[in-house]
Amino acid sequence: MFASVPASQRNQIVQAALNGGVNWFDTAELYGWGRSERGLAEALTQAGKTNAEVRIATKWNPMLRTARPITRTIRTRQTNLEGYTIDLYQIHAPVSFATRRSEMNAMADLVDSGQIGAIGVSNFNARQMRRAHEILHSRGMRLAANQVRYNLADRRIESNGILDTAKELGITIIAYSPLFMGLLSGKFHSDPQSFDRLPIIRRRMLHRRFGQSGELVNALEQIARAHGTTAAQVALNWLINAHGDTVVAIPGASTVSQAKENAEAMRFTLTDQEAVQIDALSREIV
């Protein structure tokens, strides 16, 4: 998110991602109230990247707002991004004071005026996705994406209608927290004391799945050794390939090494047996 990362480190992280072939970056108004957007633009400029070479997604903060600020605040998003095009603009959550129609119409107006490329949402359930899609369809447009939590330790979108609706309507699922806050990297299982040192809110979020995911993490590490890679890369590789083109992932990075590791997650192919094993062990986590 870059809002709290020092500029020199942020620039190195973005450069490492670019070097690894990454050209799509996700940010949001809410991340540092614009600092993340400005930091991303600065890092891309520092790397010498032109607008045509990258794709930018950002999000409008809907909390305690009507739909009117969607069109009023787009100038701020553009200023923060310093000329880089907003290729995907997303409603950050279904929590505004606005009706779904007014939100989607405001977003559609931005597409019509050429100020954004496509429309997305975040944290929308299946019914909300479908409604947003219907409204945009009436304007001759489509809902491009829904950004939701999805990973091997949290597969709820497979059973609550979100993934099925996305496949039916051709909506891309953008999986955030694809490593479940580091749980699937194996770092907490190899050093349980590091889990105990986590902030209490994060520890509570991870606690149940930490206890259930040991066998899965062992399998990820075993498969990683066979491919000369890491457990985190295996988890990302499975997630991105499990549903064809429907799911993409946005792993975060707070260090250069993490950015490099994320970028290399697609440079190997899991065997059918490995994919089936990961799937089966993951389904035991509830």
Query: Which residues are marked as active site?
Result: 31
DSSP bridge partners of 174: 147, 248
Three-class SS state of 26: strand
Distance of alpha carbon 193 from alpha carbon 82, whole angstroms: 43
What the block records as the tokens of 21 is: 């072939």
Distance of alpha carbon 58 from alpha carbon 247, whole angstroms: 18
DSSP collapsed to 3 states, 82-140:
CCCCEEEEEECCCCCCCCHHHHHHHHHHHHHCCCEEEEEEECCCHHHHHHHHHHHHHCC
What the block records as the tokens of 61 is: 């903060």
From the CA atom positions of the chain, what is the Rg in Å?
Answer: 19
Name which of 273, 261, 175 is nearest 222 in CA terms. Answer: 273
